[in-house]
């Protein structure tokens, strides 16, 4: 099986490549990645079954050539960080919308199976006391340029399935944690701050809730969808991991041997979504998928250990990320 993984040098994509080598040993993997600030070739395993092509998913020449030779395209490439989208939305439109369009045209032309990786952010946010969670039929209601462009990409995929019979599926997952995540994101930012002797930074009161899932569970669900999902369907991926940000910061501090209150409150993110929560019943019941990581505290401790052991991997990103946060006042 020839697998084309877009964005495979990023956090979730590089973990997907690693998982794929284990669960599909016969697979030959081509990673197409622009190696933006968020991509790192060193995140990929050195293995003869994996090759990295540096290129832009919005470049039709590069994309056509690679798609033509693939059996399946798994599309992770995106601009993924909300704070950046509030600072400069254009790269989000370029990659998330134009890039996805370019891939869809290529899989349409060459009749190649496509799986689109998306996010729960497209549904907007929930109230803290809302008994409902997001389901595949929740109306789209994105809040930020990041989530609006991801919503746009999902709608393009749906339209290409219906209008052109493209063989595609979509997954919308909740917040991922685990190794190889860029230090701009919430959990690695706080871990690496503490390693550097800097206090963690909590936006606003820290009551916002995210539904945490280990990256390996996200990726095992993606394979379940590619293997057994129905064409044209949307599957939600989540592991019932709702926690507010204040609790997560306190847990990180505790795991790292610091007082639980040793953090700073900083300015809130404009338009900050209050709560995300996934109902993954369809994915579990239809595909028989179950998450393997059920203990967030244990997964967090493993993640802390990974960042302690891999300073060479994250050190170069750290100063640049913190400069950006300093400019944004966060
Ligand atoms: P990331 O920012 O770590 O990685 C994105 C990768 O895409 C990088 O390697 C980057 O170089 C590459 N890229 C960006 N623009 C490109 C372009 N124009 N052409 C080719 N490559 C390009 O992101 P991530 O956190 O790994 O997210 C991967 C996917 O999963 C995204 O589609 C995101 O929306 C989705 N997702 C993420 C989360 C999460 O918690 N991080 C949750 C649900 C869904
Ligand atoms: O839900 C899926 C989404 O999860 C993905 O679509 C995005 O690509 C991914 O980045 C993530 O989005 P969030 O905005 O939820 O993640 P982030 O790591 O930026 O922030 C998580 C929460 O922590 C959010 O409520 C903001 C807060 N936060 C973040 C940072 C960086 C802080 O309190 N302090 C921080 O320093």
Cα 193 from Cα 224, distance rounded (Å)? 36
How confident is residue 108, by pLDDT bands cut at 50, 70 and 90?
very high
Cβ neighbours for 203, distance < 8 A, ≥ 6 positions apart: 245, 266, 267, 268, 269, 272, 330
Average pLDDT estimate for 169-176: 99
Domain boundaries, the chain: 2-182+212-240+275-294
Q: How many CB atoms lie within 10 A of CB 281?
A: 12
Domain 2-182+212-240+275-294: CATH superfamily is NAD(P)-binding Rossmann-like Domain (3.40.50.720)
Cα of 166 to ligand 2 centre, how many Å? Answer: 32
Residue nearest to atom 37 of ligand 1 (CA): 119
119 lines ligand 2 (CB under 6 A): yes
Nearest to 251 by CA among 296, 310, 216: 296
Average pLDDT estimate for 18-40: 98
Residue nearest to atom 4 of ligand 2 (CA): 175
Check residue 93 and give its pLDDT. Answer: 98
- Express each pLDDT in 271-328 by its tens digit: 999 999 999 999 999 999 999 999 999 999 999 999 999 999 999 999 999 999 999 9
- Express each pLDDT in 299-314 by its tens digit: 999 999 999 999 999 9
CA of 153, nearest ligand number: 1
70 lines ligand 1 (CB under 6 A): no
Q: How many CB atoms lie within 10 A of CB 152?
A: 19
Cβ burial of 27 (10 Å; 0-12, 13-18, 19+) is: middle
Cβ burial of 22 (10 Å; 0-12, 13-18, 19+) is: exposed
Check residue 52 and give its pLDDT. Answer: 98
CA of 329, nearest ligand number: 2
Cβ neighbours for 305, distance < 8 A, ≥ 6 positions apart: none
Q: What is the mean pLDDT of the chain?
A: 98
How confident is residue 105, by pLDDT bands cut at 50, 70 and 90?
very high
- Express each pLDDT in 43-73 by its tens digit: 999 999 999 999 999 999 999 999 999 999 9
Check residue 288 and give its pLDDT. Answer: 98
- Full-model pTM: 0.99
Q: How many CB atoms lie within 10 A of CB 301?
A: 16
């Amino acid at each position: 099986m020839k697998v084309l993984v877009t964005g495979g040098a990023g956090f979730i994509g590089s973990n997907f490549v690693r998982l794929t080598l284990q669960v599909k040993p016969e697979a030959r993997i081509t990673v197409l990645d622009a190696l933006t600030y968020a991509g790192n070739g060193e995140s990929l395993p050195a293995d003869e079954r994996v090759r990295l092509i540096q290129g832009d998913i919005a470049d039709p020449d590069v994309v056509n050539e690679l798609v033509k030779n693939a059996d399946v395209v798994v599309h992770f490439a995106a601009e993924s960080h909300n704070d950046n989208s509030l600072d400069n939305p254009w790269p989000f439109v370029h990659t998330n919308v134009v890039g996805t369009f370019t891939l869809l045209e290529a899989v349409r032309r060459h009749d190649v199976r496509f799986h689109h990786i998306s996010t729960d952010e497209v549904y907007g946010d929930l109230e803290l006391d809302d008994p409902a969670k997001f389901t595949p039929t929740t109306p789209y209601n994105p809040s930020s340029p990041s989530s609006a462009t991801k919503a746009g990409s999902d709608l393009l995929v749906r339209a290409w399935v219906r209008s052109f019979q493209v063989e595609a599926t979509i997954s919308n997952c909740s917040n991922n944690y685990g190794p190889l995540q860029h230090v701009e994101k919430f959990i690695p930012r706080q871990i690496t701050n503490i390693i550097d002797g800097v206090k963690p930074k909590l936006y606003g009161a820290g009551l916002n809730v995210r539904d945490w899932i280990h990256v390996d569970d996200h990726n095992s669900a993606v394979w379940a969808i590619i293997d057994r999902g129905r064409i044209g369907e949307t599957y939600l991926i989540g592991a019932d991991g709702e926690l507010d940000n204040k609790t997560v910061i306190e847990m990180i501090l505790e795991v790292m041997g610091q007082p639980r209150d040793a953090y700073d409150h900083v300015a809130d993110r404009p338009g900050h979504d209050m709560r995300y929560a996934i109902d993954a019943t369809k994915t579990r019941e239809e595909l028989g998928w179950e998450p393997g990581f059920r203990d967030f505290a244990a997964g967090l401790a493993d993640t802390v250990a990974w960042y302690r052991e891999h300073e060479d991997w994250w050190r170069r990103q750290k100063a640049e990320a913190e400069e950006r946060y300093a400019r944004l006042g966060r």
